Amino acid sequence: MDIVKKVADRIANGANYLADEAEKRMNYSRGFKDGYNDRPRNRFFENLSDYQEGYEAGRKQAQADTKSPSLLPRSFQKPNED
Does the pLDDT at position 80 exceed 70?
no
- The pLDDT value recorded for residue 14 is 84
* Domain count for the chain: 1
Residue 71 inside a domain? The answer is no
Residue 31 inside a domain? The answer is yes
Containing structural domain, residue 38: 18-57
pTM value is 0.32
Instruction: Work out the mean pLDDT of the chain and round it to a whole number.
Output: 68
CB 37 within 8 A of CB 43: yes
Residue 25 inside a domain? The answer is yes
Task: Quick: pLDDT tens for 16-51.
Answer: 888 888 777 766 655 555 555 455 555 555 566 667
CA-to-CA dists, residue 46 to 13, 27, 57, angstroms = 39, 21, 19
